[in-house]
Structure 1
Amino acid sequence: MPGSPDSTAEPPGRWAAEELVEHRRGKLHPAVARTREAVRGVLSELPPGTTVLVACSGGTDSLALAAATAFEAPKLKLRAGAVIVDHGLQADSAQTAEIAAGQCRSLGLDPVQVRAVEVGSEGGPEGAARVARYDALRDAADEFGADFVLLAHTRDDQAETVLLGLARGSGARSLAGMAAVAGLLRRPFLELPRATTAAACVASGLRPWHDPHNDDPQFTRVRVRHEVLPVLEGALGPGVVEALARTAGLLRADADALDMLAAEVAETAVRRTDGEVHCDVGTLESQPDAVRTRVLRQAALEAGCRATDLTAGHVAAVDALVTGWRGQRWIDLPQGIRAARRGGFIVLGPDVTG
């Protein structure tokens, strides 16, 4: 399509010599070049001999990531494999996972492993599947001695995540979306549109699997993708996805700075004893709201609350024990955790009473 990101005459960015030759001969599709460039930008920072794993479902984005990684890793003397997580949520999930594994092997990735998981119910279907998936990826990284796991989230995924965070009212950290680097995880495609990964698969002759869950409106993310974003684009004009992703980047920088300040305060204001987390009221009440609430949120997480279930409303209720104390009893938090004010401290734990 004229004017689309994948039809430019000379793609921008850094080019490996052989890619530039291929492109000028008309052999290398711009979308393939962009996926390789994005992966190269991440892998080039790693020392030779590093092992990386691609989290691959066989879908468009992760298959494009697997292909780009398989191309780039050997040139950088890296070992690259793949992990396919079988959530067991569909009748043919095991077969689908094996097909994805076969595609990864055909690309040259090694080791390639399918890991079956049991998805619980806590946190809703999407949250429970995510928890099971990330646990499986960490276990696979430990087994194979992998230093990093590559995830195929795109700019479109980032925009959806920002909207979901906005709907939950979970604050700047939630609106900051997904991080390009988060411990074990790396997301090379966060600045690429989904259209680029789709075009890369077509140009490379890859046949992605289409997850029927991606069209199921019972999932909140699906409704955001197919209903909310198109309405926003129609009302506000094109560029909404890019703007949301850009906003996430800006908020992430702000949130990181505030988190650093909160961590410094927590060093003196928070202590952990006998399965409980104690936060000193005297220290916290003199802090700005943005710092104080971050300390309290982190304390709730350390006490046992799950990040996906802990809302801004929960944190505000705990904060009221510091700033609006009127003899309230405890505050009920997710995962059976309570927060109460006791003897000049906010105490968080499973059996806390005021």
Structure 2
Amino acid sequence: MVRDSLAQAGYPERVLVACSGGPDSLALASVAAYFARRGHVDGHRVQLGAVVVDHQLQPGSAEVAARTAAVLTELGLAPVAVRTVEVSATGAGPEAAARDARHAALEAAAAGWNADVILLGHTLDDQAEQVLLGLARGSGTRSLAGMRPSRGLLLRPFLGLRRAHTLEICEVEQLDPWHDPSNTDPAFARSRTRVEVLPLLEEKLGPGVAESLARTASILQLDADYLEDVANHTFASLVDRSGPDISLPEAALGELAPAIRFRVIAKAAADVGGQQTSYQRLLAAEALLRRQGSAGPVELPGGVSVYRLSLAQLLAEEGAGGNGVPREAARCGKLVFRSHKPPQK
């Protein structure tokens, strides 16, 4: 799996393995170390290093990180670095905050070593849990598509491997993995999904549920990519950037298929600095297209407002001879997106 992943990435020369010391990432590191000792993959030269991220969220985390780094060095990976991070509280929750801090540390480590890719140890079980969590949240296609085998610098060679197999690899290689207590902590939704929900589904529905969920993610990744590509091209062809705001023509938006229309509206909000928008807020913004006269504004996350401005309402507010009419009239019949954030200095 590691060989296939590196081959699909074009045989990168410098590869960084992210390892927490847990069974999944330690098994990945041991497989990667095989190529490190050989010095090549299918005849292509390769160097494999590793990075351990210490989130400082549990007592003794520094010792776990140091012990893991020593094991990675013994396996033959070099260089091996430990990155200590501060996990700041955010509105997205502790898991998301830890993930953001970890990814920032991994990207910094990759940049410091000029690594071409970073290997992550996510398994098929992780993918199945991701899809279940997306379903529970009522997420859209992008979220249900789960984690990608390849995204930017990140490669996930084990997405087709069950977690039980990584434990077997550790046992065969005589490795003693660290078991993160948070993985079984019922305070976290992912932990409850892992320990309670997915086993119950497999008990009641029969084996193969995890594989089916992972297969669903693979199928939806293709759908999500296609819709994203269409939405990108459509947004680029419709957006009007005259003035400080941006706008989209109502008539053209109304003719779009709903799946594309909602994505284009979300892209417009993001373009002026908005944050990820919920489906309910997108519905409220899209509903402006079905109203008569001036409507809105609809507030979206990240300090963005959306409004619809008609010429009749504009004339009523400014007067037929108003100084602002010629400038604003070009926006009539359009959905206007405005950021309320102060400009960056």
Quick check: 96-105 or 323-332, which moved more?
323-332
Deviations 1:130-163 (A, max 9, x none): 1111111111111111111111111000001001
Are residues 203 and 276 of structure 1, via their aligned partners in 2, closer, same or farther at CA, if it must alter by over 3 Å?
A: farther
What TM-score, normalized to structure 2?
0.84
In structure 2, the residue matched to 1:75 is 40
Kindly report which structure 2 residues correspond to 1:274-353, keeping only aligned pairs within 5 A, or say none: 276-307=245-276, 310-323=277-290, 327-342=294-309, 343=331, 344-351=334-341
Query: How far off is 1:64 after superposition?
Result: 0.7
- Kindly indicate whether the alpha-carbon contact (under 8 Å) linking 1:277 and 1:349 is maintained by their aligned counterparts in 2: no
Residue identity in the other structure for 1:247: T
Are residues 235 and 97 of structure 1, via their aligned partners in 2, closer, same or farther at CA, if it must alter by over 3 Å?
A: same
Are residues 233 and 206 of structure 1, via their aligned partners in 2, closer, same or farther at CA, if it must alter by over 3 Å?
A: same
Quick check: 222-231 or 274-283, which moved more?
274-283
Counterpart check, 1:199 vs 2:179 = no
Structure 1 residue aligned with 2:77, among 105, 109, 112? 109
In structure 2, the residue matched to 1:142 is 111
Deviations 1:161-217 (A, max 9, x none): 001111111211111111111111111011111111111011101111111111111
- Kindly indicate whether the alpha-carbon contact (under 8 Å) linking 2:304 and 2:337 is maintained by their aligned counterparts in 1: no
Query: How far off is 1:126 after superposition?
Result: 0.8
Unaligned runs of 5+ in 2: 310-330
Deviations 1:59-93 (A, max 9, x none): 11001111111112423221111111111111211
Query: How far off is 1:111 after superposition?
Result: 1.6
Structure 1 residue aligned with 2:223, among 254, 257, 261? 254
How far apart, in 2, do the equivalents of 1:317 and 1:324 lie? 11
Kindly report which structure 2 residues correspond to 1:55-134, keeping only aligned pairs within 5 A, or say none: 55-73=18-36, 74-76=39-41, 77-122=45-90, 123-134=92-103
How far apart, in 2, do the equivalents of 1:272 and 1:93 lie? 49
- Kindly indicate whether the alpha-carbon contact (under 8 Å) linking 2:86 and 2:101 is maintained by their aligned counterparts in 1: yes
How far apart, in 1, do the equivalents of 2:292 and 2:96 lie? 34
- Kindly indicate whether the alpha-carbon contact (under 8 Å) linking 1:262 and 1:291 is maintained by their aligned counterparts in 2: yes
Query: How far off is 1:271 after superposition?
Result: 4.8
Larger Rg: 2
How far apart, in 1, do the equivalents of 2:12 and 2:204 lie? 50
- Kindly indicate whether the alpha-carbon contact (under 8 Å) linking 2:268 and 2:337 is maintained by their aligned counterparts in 1: no
Q: Secondary structure at 1:285's aligned position in 2?
A: helix
**Aligned-pair Cα RMSD in Å:** 2.2
Unaligned runs of 5+ in 1: 1-37
How far apart, in 2, do the equivalents of 1:294 and 1:350 lie? 22
In structure 2, the residue matched to 1:8 is none
Are residues 341 and 148 of structure 1, via their aligned partners in 2, closer, same or farther at CA, if it must alter by over 3 Å?
A: farther
Identity of aligned residues (%): 46
What TM-score, normalized to structure 1?
0.82
In structure 2, the residue matched to 1:54 is 17
Are residues 337 and 208 of structure 1, via their aligned partners in 2, closer, same or farther at CA, if it must alter by over 3 Å?
A: farther
How far apart, in 2, do the equivalents of 1:325 and 1:143 lie? 56
